[in-house]
Chains A and B, each alone.
Chain A
Amino acid sequence: MKRTGAQILWECLVREGVTEVFGYPGGAILPAYDAMLDYPIRHTLVRHEQGATHMADGYARASGKVGVAIATSGPGATNMVTGIATAMLDSSPIVCITGQVGSRLIGTDAFQEIDITGITLPVTKHNYLVTSAQDVARTVREAFMIAKSGRPGPVLIDITKDAQQASCEFEWETAAPVVPGWREAPPLGRAELARAAELIRTAERPVILAGHGVTISGAEPALRAFAERANIPIAATLLGIGGFPASHSLNLGMMGMHGEAWVNLAIQEADLLIACGMRFDDRVTGNLKTYAPHAKKIHIEIDPSEINKNVRVDVALVADLRDVLERLVPLTEPGHRQAWFDRIAGYKGDSAVRDIQSLPDDGHLYAAHVINDLWRATRSQDTIVVTDVGQHQMWEAQYYHHENPRSLITSGGLGTMGFAVPAAIGAKRARPEAEVWAVVGDGGFQMTMCELATAVQDAINIKVAIINNGYLGMVRQWQEFFYERRYAATPLSGPDFVKLADAFGIRSRAVSTRSDVLSAIADATAHEGPVVIDFRVEQEDTVYPMVPAGADLHAMIRRPNPIVETAAD
């Protein structure tokens, strides 16, 4: 059957199960856009191509499926780079399609020609330049295979305009991927498994470190079965949150720079770390020289290049996490570790007292309270929270207690401000039945707030909670601690967010006292359509605890202990 390259593109996307794409048209991608109308695809018109990539990413993280973004050549393609890098650093499977100038013009600096495969080389798992219609089908199939397999990641397909326009024979079956270097994870050696099981059996103070890999491999039930059988507490990385229920008695909480004090202390005192689909990022280890000095380490990880990269491990199991955990369970004996749990309880010490939740109400609105109230108000429903990057992101991780996988979506590895609003739109497209909240700082919101127009035009029902502190708060916090409170370029003004939302045609409201928080959230939930709430919170608040960059993991700056007697109840 003869088809144009553009038709083949959509034909293949549909066969790959794609129903939603996020994009922005332009000259070099016009043939593809024209053909799109004839296929069962819903297109969301973004306001900036960065938004399209974050939407595809949010879609992928909410659903576990591949997200698709599409843009034109030149500036359309370069606008995607930040979103592609965000997906790369967080192992999120997206496929980005860009138009390219005609193949005869390549290399001539033609209008809107840019070497996007060159530019994205280090931030994609793989990328392609397609110059002939014959190659479209195989390339799309390869791209999906690569994006979602092993350690997932972004794949970019740059298609020249003539390749979109030309016609050729199309047959899905014969366009099978040709990837001679393709490898699935190698089979796991019994010996390694046995060694891991032995370390687990003899450990007295083990901790499981749960990362993004838990959710990526669908290992949540296996992790739970393993942890419960071996009776081992679990600490989560930022992206590991949701992989294990927050309310479970074995859950310790988040580790790392803004992790809970007792979690970091437990890691430092542990005699065994079982790292599950995490990569010992500097934000979770602190100073590597003093990291978990007493612990043997088992690393379960599908990407061999992560093994011994930051931390030397004693046993490495390079395979799919779920597979490994399922095979470990029968090798594991029930663990009795009361002494260890008692010791961890001791690390909690006065943490509860220092917690901002215990502070007497001083009439101020604190971000932590807003987020904790949001959790109270939405916990019983199917809710996804998508955060931006900054203080509010860390408070979300600390004060919203996630029970379910894929219920927190956040930019971890790249820390991309501007992620929340578009990623929330993508998440809502993936899970329309879920309530999707974007929790975003006043800084990050102003980076991609144009996507509110997208939400309105396409009737995408997201709720936006702006944690408005009048600062680039996280940077201000570093200035407070490490730069003598010299607030260079961190005080931040903004428009009146209520009026702004109003101008977009979005229901909105400002909240500046705690007593209004719950009713504002209830209002937002009840409204069928996007809502913006401007939470005007305490301006110079600080995220505690904090491990300064490069410091020992146990060297945390703690929130000062408040007046103990008022907090005792």
Chain B
Amino acid sequence: MKLHTFTVYVEDRPGVLNRVASLFRRRGFNIQSLSVGHSETAGVSRMTVVVETDDSGAARIKAHVYKLINVVRVEDITDRPSVVRDLALIKVSANHQNRAAVMQLANVFHARVVDVAPESLVVEMVGSEAKIDGLLEVLRPYGVLEMVRTGRVAMARGSGAGVAAGGGRFLPEAEEGFSYSV
């Protein structure tokens, strides 16, 4: 069992997020994080879905997701070199006495302070989940008042293109995915 990261291109239509999310639920897979937004192609959204499963579970997820009519393309990029990022906004309790210390910690983590109030700070950090977890750990003693994270977004490195290049039909990648010889 390990965390698998899927990028899923879907038609940008009402209810599609529900179709994808519901499929994971119904097939007994627990979504760790899910983020959705526009892709490089108009009318196509891109999701990053993280699920804890083994390799055969991941293969089944991929095949099931492919069956959704609104899904244009799905990839399991877990074992491919990729850029993986999470964005966090963390509101930390800080007053004039310890504000400097908090800001210094944020600096060490290459995080930015994006709001300052008399009794709190909002720190913004983009990075891997582990790095953000690290920042969070050192901020906790000061008092974390609120936090929001986007969940993982991911992109494979290198020149492989998104959905536009393949047009969505008869993708060579899909054929590779369908070849199940073991």
* CB within 8 Å of B: which A298-313 residues: 303-305, 307-309, 312-313
**Bound complex: CA of A266 vs CA of B103, how far in Å?**
73
* CB within 8 Å of B: which A276-313 residues: 303-305, 307-309, 312-313
Q: Check A308 against B11 for contact (C-beta < 8 Å).
A: no
Contact pattern, A 133-164, Cβ under 8 Å of B = 1, otherwise 0: 00000000000001000000000000000000
Q: Among the listed A122, A308, A313, A315, which residue makes an inter-chain contact with B26, where contact means beta carbons less than 8 Å apart?
A: A122
**Bound complex: CA of A460 vs CA of B56, how far in Å?**
49
A126 and B69 contact, Cβ closer than 8 Å, known pairs A308-B56, A309-B60: yes
Question: Is A495 positioned at the interface, with any CB of B under 8 Å from its CB?
Answer: no
Chain A residues with CB under 8 A of B64: 305
Chain B residues with CB under 8 A of A346: none
* CB within 8 Å of A: which B154-178 residues: 168-171, 174-175, 177-178
CB distance from A153 to the nearest CB of B (A): 10
**Bound complex: CA of A121 vs CA of B25, how far in Å?**
12
**Bound complex: CA of A366 vs CA of B83, how far in Å?**
69
Interface centre among B11, B56, B181 (most CB of A within 10 A): B181
**Bound complex: CA of A403 vs CA of B175, how far in Å?**
37
Question: Is B81 positioned at the interface, with any CB of A under 8 Å from its CB?
Answer: no
A186-194, A225-233, A424-432 - interface stretch? A186-194
Interface size on A, residues (CB 8 A): 33
A72-80, A176-184, A410-418 - interface stretch? A176-184
**Bound complex: CA of A133 vs CA of B66, how far in Å?**
29
Which partner residue on chain B sits nearest A180 by CB separation?
B168
DSSP majority for the B interface?
mixed
Q: Among the listed B170, B178, B182, which residue makes an inter-chain contact with A304, where contact means beta carbons less than 8 Å apart?
A: B178
Contact pattern, B 120-133, Cβ under 8 Å of A = 1, otherwise 0: 00000000000000
Q: Check B63 against A195 for contact (C-beta < 8 Å).
A: no
Which partner residue on chain B sits nearest A142 by CB separation?
B69
Which partner residue on chain B sits nearest A304 by CB separation?
B63
Q: Check B72 against A180 for contact (C-beta < 8 Å).
A: yes
A180 and B66 contact, Cβ closer than 8 Å, known pairs A122-B22, A189-B179, A316-B181: no
Question: Is B141 positioned at the interface, with any CB of A under 8 Å from its CB?
Answer: no
Chain B residues with CB under 8 A of A378: none
Chain B residues with CB under 8 A of A313: 180, 182
Q: Check A181 against B71 for contact (C-beta < 8 Å).
A: yes
**Bound complex: CA of A553 vs CA of B69, how far in Å?**
36
Chain B residues with CB under 8 A of A189: 179
A318 and B169 contact, Cβ closer than 8 Å, known pairs A146-B69, A305-B64, A309-B60: no
Which partner residue on chain B sits nearest A317 by CB separation?
B180
Q: Check A181 against B63 for contact (C-beta < 8 Å).
A: no
CB distance from A192 to the nearest CB of B (A): 6
Q: Check A183 against B169 for contact (C-beta < 8 Å).
A: yes
**Bound complex: CA of A187 vs CA of B178, how far in Å?**
10
CB distance from A246 to the nearest CB of B (A): 32
Question: Is B136 positioned at the interface, with any CB of A under 8 Å from its CB?
Answer: no
Contact pattern, A 481-500, Cβ under 8 Å of B = 1, otherwise 0: 00000000000000000000
Interface centre among A184, A186, A187 (most CB of B within 10 A): A186
CB distance from B19 to the nearest CB of A (A): 7
Q: Check A179 against B69 for contact (C-beta < 8 Å).
A: yes
Q: Check B174 against A316 for contact (C-beta < 8 Å).
A: no
Question: Is B18 positioned at the interface, with any CB of A under 8 Å from its CB?
Answer: yes
* CB within 8 Å of B: which A253-283 residues: none
Given A181-B11, A318-B180, 18 more A-B residue pairs with CB atoms under 8 Å apart are A118-B18, A121-B18, A121-B19, A125-B69, A126-B68, A129-B14, A180-B72, A181-B68, A181-B69, A181-B70, A181-B73, A182-B169, A183-B171, A195-B181, A303-B67, A305-B60, A305-B64, A318-B179
